Amino acid sequence: MNYIVLNTVLAVVPAVILLLFFYRQDKRKPEPGVMVLFSLVLGILSTLPALAIGMVLDPYFRTFPPLTYILLTAFVTAALVEEGCKLTVVYRYILPRSAFDEVSDGIVYTVGASMGFAILENILYSANNPPYVILLRGFTSVPLHAIASGIMGYYIGRAKFEHPSIRFKGLTFAVIIHGTYNFLLFTGTMASLLIIPLLVFSWKRLRRLAKLALLEDRFFGRS
């Protein structure tokens, strides 16, 4: 019972901290709390179709050689499917709302969805893993979800005011980052350590895009 409580806390707290960090970036025009919570719930729900699709794809992918199987699992099952599900719920259920009126909103809401996804994913992982595994995921997997989806969110925000197809540019970046992260881990070699520079580089990229979004919103009078 103690492990269950501890694992749940470790699964939830890092995600909440990251979400609050991005939520507080736009001090001039913060998003309605209820909408951010809505994005979190949508992210939790998006985990279900991602798991279902993964269960369908995995038996087929297992027919390929080991390296091909790892690549397909990393870039399709764990990256394209998951980021695609998060993109779908944000673009369909959040973007049309009147509260979504800035490019920077795309980052906040997509990070919200990604944190919901990460929370449920970590809770599922906690069922068969000790607390130190969930703690490690809190420092690596949870930020990975926020970073990859946050970068995608910037392009979702731009899609609101430019051409809708630009959201797929963000999806591409998210899949590359997410897939590379998972591939490095799945190799089970020293290459796994490369996830650290990957996360650092991608985090810096997201921070630049977040600042750019705020500047764009102010320049066009959205904030």
Is pLDDT at 223 greater than 80 in this prediction? Answer: no
94 contacts: CB under 8 Å, gap ≥ 6: 35, 38, 39, 42, 100, 109, 113
pLDDT attached to residue 2: 58
Cα–Cα distance between 142 and 80 in angstroms, integer?
17
pLDDT attached to residue 69: 97
What band does 221 get if pLDDT is binned at 50, 70 and 90?
Answer: confident
Cα–Cα distance between 135 and 37 in angstroms, integer?
24
φ, ψ (nearest 5 deg) of residue 142? -65, -50
pLDDT attached to residue 136: 83
- Is 24 exposed, middle or buried, given 0-12, 13-18 or 19+ CB atoms closer than 10 A? exposed
Express as a percent the part of the chain with pLDDT over 90: 78
- The HSE-up count of residue 2 (CA atoms within 13 Å, CB side) is 0
The tokens describing 132, both together, are: 């130190």
Average pLDDT rounded to a whole number, residues 22-28 = 87
Is pLDDT at 82 greater than 70 in this prediction? Answer: yes
155-189 pLDDT, tens digit each: 999 999 998 999 999 999 999 999 999 999 999 89
Who wins on pLDDT, 6 or 14?
14
112-137 pLDDT, tens digit each: 999 999 999 988 887 777 777 778 88
Regarding pTM above 0.85, the answer is: yes
Is pLDDT at 87 greater than 80 in this prediction? Answer: yes
Average pLDDT over the chain, rounded to an integer? 93
Among 103, 25, 72, 85, which Cα is nearest to 182's?
Answer: 72
The tokens describing 200, both together, are: 């650092």
Is pLDDT at 53 greater than 70 in this prediction? Answer: yes
CA 40 vs CA 9, 90, 129, 132: distances in Å: 16, 10, 24, 25
Q: For the chain, what are the domain ranges?
A: 2-218
pLDDT attached to residue 128: 74
Beta carbons within 10 angstroms of residue 162's beta carbon: 12
160 contacts: CB under 8 Å, gap ≥ 6: 95, 100, 103, 105, 106
The tokens describing 80, both together, are: 């394209």
Average pLDDT rounded to a whole number, residues 219-223 = 81
Who wins on pLDDT, 46 or 12?
46
- The HSE-up count of residue 22 (CA atoms within 13 Å, CB side) is 33
